[in-house]
Chain A
Amino acid sequence: MTRDHWLGLLVLSPSLIAVGIFVYVFIGWSVYVSTIDWSGFVPDYTFKWLDNYWQVATDPRFLTDLRNLVLFSVVFIGQCIVIGFILAVLLNRHIKGEGIFRTIYILPFAVSLVVTGVSWHWLMDPTTGINLLLRAIGLGAIQPSWYLSQSWGIVAVATANSWQMCGYVMAIYLAGLRNIPTELVEAARMDGAGPFTIYRRVIIPLLAPVTVTALLLTGMVSVKTFDLVVTMTGGGPGFATDVLGLNMYQLAFQANLYSQSAAVAVIMMMIAGLVLVPYVMNNRRLKRTGLG
């Protein structure tokens, strides 16, 4: 450690303290709030063990949230990965105007989720939007109720969200595809492998780190979902499209049930941790994806 190293640490320290407080102290604080009895304007510091978690977890609303988290994740992540991968493969075939297509596909990612919500709210309004188009092309028999559906409403929200993220996933797959040495693909071709075999045996396995990154990024979006639900459905009808993020927000900032809200927040962080910790702590994977 030279003098300059100490200087570096000194310059770094305000940021470290700030991030330390805003991330780690706040996490601990949330955990603490989740164990006391704060259910009004004034906190009651009585230690309540895991009572708030029990309260929250036995609420039918919470079970809806978990169900919606699973459904949302499957539909959202699935669409992002499948469509993103297909678009990347198609765009990687010497397309004229590739730049224009790419720009259009990624454009939604530049747009706020609130804007996405306003637009898709009307597109998926059962009386107009997409259903109107379906009627116009003679498919009037297919008239989904979209986000108004009691059981499948969250699928509509997940679809709108994947509209926004598909292009992002496409971009990282495209970069991954272009990093694959052409000799590898050529060698496989020389060995008599057809296009499908090449994809299955060479390209898709080589893109595994990209797929892991895409899973991580879309997985985190699934856990955090809030904006789009607020704008598209407000969690309704009833609690049909409710999610953990909205539940947490309403418990704290509308019902003043801070301790229960903190319990939901801690559960959300634990779910995020399940997705994240193996990834961040894995040295080799970090190196490969350039995060390390």
Chain B
Amino acid sequence: MMATTQSDHAAGTMLRSHARAGAVAPTRIRPRHVFKRLLLYLVLLAFAAYFLMPIYVLVLTALKPFSDVNTATMWQLPTPPTLDAFAAAWNAVGGSFLNSVAIVVPATLLATLLGAVNGYVFAKWRFPGSELVFRLVLFGMFLPYQGLLIPLVLTLRQLGLFGTIPGLIVTHAILGIPITALLFRSFFAAVPDELLEAAKLDGCGFFRIFRYLMLPLAPPTIAVVLLWQFTAVWNDFILAVVILNNPQSAPITVAVQNLAGSTSVEWNVQMAAALIAALPTIVVYLLLGKLFMRGLLTGALKG
């Protein structure tokens, strides 16, 4: 313990003396410093290339005509680029894309509405045991869905919802409650209690406070929750493949997987289909990146 402390101290002194040596000519640009910055940017660019590579490959291949698709020429540019693969892909998965829209919109709205009300109660109308109840709800957020699948299928069958779009919507809306309630609760908890007390003195009750005090403050949070839920539902695969595995009503993730699994479909078409599936969430992320980040951080830890 002592030894490490001393060597750390020695290292610190060494680095400091470096700094002093550099300070001898403060007006000159230090080549060492420039080199280090350059290296820093090169590393950042290399990582950027790494993170973009799989998307680049999708775009590159999806723009190729069938004759260009060849394992030996994967990285070569298409000659010339064509949208044929996209047309073929849309033929194959276009219907599923629309199914996804039909699932995502109501599932997102429902989960957001329920989350807003629940978060409001958990934050501002605490009852004996409400903390424990909230934590029990939160637990649902982390649960491996595999633990629910068999009873879920049995229940939906009983209700006549198995294999239907409404069945998947209901499932997403309910399983979305934990995260949406968490996001809204964090936000509503930050609204000062004095504001509530003032509203109560003015004769406002439970609903009027929600409607006229809380909701007008909440649009940024609503946007974050909508975005978060939209992404989660659009990208879901496991619930869809279990509940809604018939080609007519399956969402896009299932359709892309079926396409990718089939050996008769060329991979320029597979990749075009994958891009079509990825496009909505990528576009939303690029347009509303800040909100996306906020959801990400509230979901994990409050900034």
Chain A positions within 8 Å of B, measured between CB atoms, are 1, 3-5, 7-9, 11-12, 15-16, 18-19, 21-27, 29-30, 33, 83, 87, 90-91, 93, 95, 101, 103-123, 125, 127-129, 132-133, 136, 163, 166-168, 171-172, 175-176, 179, 191-197, 200-201, 209-210, 213-214, 216-217, 220, 223-224, 226-227, 230-231, 234, 244-245, 248-249, 252-253, 258, 261-262, 264-266, 268-269, 272, 276, 280-281, 289-292
Contact across chains for A107 and B71 when beta carbons are under 8 A apart: no
Contact across chains for A114 and B256 when beta carbons are under 8 A apart: yes
Which residue of B has the minimal Cβ distance to A113? Answer: B237
Contact across chains for A30 and B206 when beta carbons are under 8 A apart: no
Q: Which of A12, A87, A120, A192 has the most CB of B within 10 A?
A: A12
Cα separation A138 to B238 with both chains bound (whole Å): 41
Give the secondary structure class of A's interface: helix
Contact across chains for A90 and B40 when beta carbons are under 8 A apart: yes
Minimum CB–CB distance from B17 to chain A (whole Å) comes to 10
Contact pick for A265, options B51, B142, B150, CB 8 Å: B150
Minimum CB–CB distance from B22 to chain A (whole Å) comes to 14
Contact across chains for B143 and A119 when beta carbons are under 8 A apart: no
Contact across chains for B296 and A168 when beta carbons are under 8 A apart: yes
B114 neighbours in A (Cβ, 8 Å)? 15
B175 neighbours in A (Cβ, 8 Å)? 22
Number of interface residues of B (CB under 8 A): 105
A214 neighbours in B (Cβ, 8 Å)? 300
Contact across chains for A101 and B44 when beta carbons are under 8 A apart: yes
Contact across chains for B260 and A117 when beta carbons are under 8 A apart: yes
Which candidate, B4-12, B27-35, B80-88, is the interface stretch facing chain A?
B4-12
Contact across chains for B278 and A112 when beta carbons are under 8 A apart: yes
Cα separation A166 to B302 with both chains bound (whole Å): 19
A201 neighbours in B (Cβ, 8 Å)? 8
Chain B positions within 8 Å of A, measured between CB atoms, are 8-9, 11-16, 40-41, 43-44, 47-48, 50-55, 57-58, 61, 71-72, 74-75, 114, 117-118, 120-122, 124-128, 131, 133, 135-140, 142-152, 154-155, 171, 174-175, 177-178, 181-182, 186, 205-207, 231, 234-235, 237-238, 241-242, 253, 256-257, 260-261, 267, 270-271, 273-275, 277-278, 281-282, 284-286, 289, 292-293, 296-298, 300-303
Given the contacts A29-B151, A95-B44, A268-B146, A108 and B51 also touching, CB distance less than 8 Å: yes
Contact across chains for A18 and B11 when beta carbons are under 8 A apart: no
Interchain residue pairs A-B with the least CB separation, the first 10: A290-B302, A8-B125, A194-B15, A112-B235, A128-B71, A110-B285, A29-B151, A119-B54, A26-B151, A8-B121
Contact pick for B235, options A3, A111, A125, CB 8 Å: A111
A107 neighbours in B (Cβ, 8 Å)? 51-52, 55, 282, 285-286
Contact pick for A30, options B75, B120, B133, B148, CB 8 Å: B148
Cα separation A132 to B165 with both chains bound (whole Å): 42
Contact across chains for A209 and B147 when beta carbons are under 8 A apart: no
B297 neighbours in A (Cβ, 8 Å)? 171-172, 175
B285 neighbours in A (Cβ, 8 Å)? 106-107, 110
Contact across chains for B274 and A115 when beta carbons are under 8 A apart: yes
